[in-house]
Amino acid sequence: MKKEHNIVPQIRKYTAEDEAALFALIEREGEEWTYCHGEDRIRYAKALDNCIVYLVFEGDTLCGYTRSRDDDGFGIYILDLLVDKQHRGKEYGRLLMERVCCDYPNDAVYVTGDVYPYYEKLGYEIEGKLYRVNAAAHIE
């Protein structure tokens, strides 16, 4: 039996040249990731330029990404974490999270996602909750 060659993943920061590959990854994920179309895509591309974004690759293949915001010393907030379905189970999500923690060692790192079993598996603890403010209810 031939032994499989282990591919070492590479993690690096996002650049504008990665946009097409990143949107293709998001689009493959399905309808719940609505960032791929029309005005949402334009807004999300702008957000990518203003966020901390890391990509994980196997060779030239984009396997996943994370998008975060720095709250000026009050914490790093991970807003998106996505690993391509074909590459799940390889711990790429954990590696991306670790990269954020390593690059920002003096900041608390928080996740704003709703995939609780995944984050609990990584040993993260729930700290508070996130609520959406209904602005329309406050405008007269």
Tens digit of each residue's pLDDT (9 = 90 or more) over 1-55: 333 457 889 999 999 999 999 999 999 998 888 877 788 899 999 999 999 999 9
pLDDT of 5: 53
Amino acid, single-letter form, for residue 118: Y
**What is the per-residue pLDDT for 139?**
65
Helix, strand or coil, per DSSP, at residue 56: strand
Average pLDDT (112-128) is 81
Residue 138 or 93, more confident = 93
Whole-number pLDDT of residue 53: 98
Domain boundaries, the chain: 10-138
> What is the CB-side half-sphere exposure of residue 91 using CA atoms within 13 A?
8
pTM of the model: 0.86
DSSP one-letter code for 107: S
Q: Are 73 and 107 in contact (CB under 8 A)?
A: yes
Name the burial class of residue 48, with classes exposed (0-12), middle (13-18) and buried (19+) by CB atoms within 10 angstroms of its CB. Answer: buried
**Of the listed ranges 77-81, 107-111, 120-124, the one predicted with least confidence:** 120-124
In this prediction, residue 114 carries a pLDDT of 76
CA gyration radius, the chain: 17
Q: What tokens does 75 get?
A: 């914490």
Across 117-122, average pLDDT: 83
User: Region 82-105: what's the mean pLDDT?
Assistant: 95
Geometric angle at alpha carbon 124, from 116 and 69, rounded to 5°: 85
Q: What is the largest CA-CA distance in the chain?
A: 72
The answer as to CATH 1.10.15.40 being correct for domain 10-138 is no
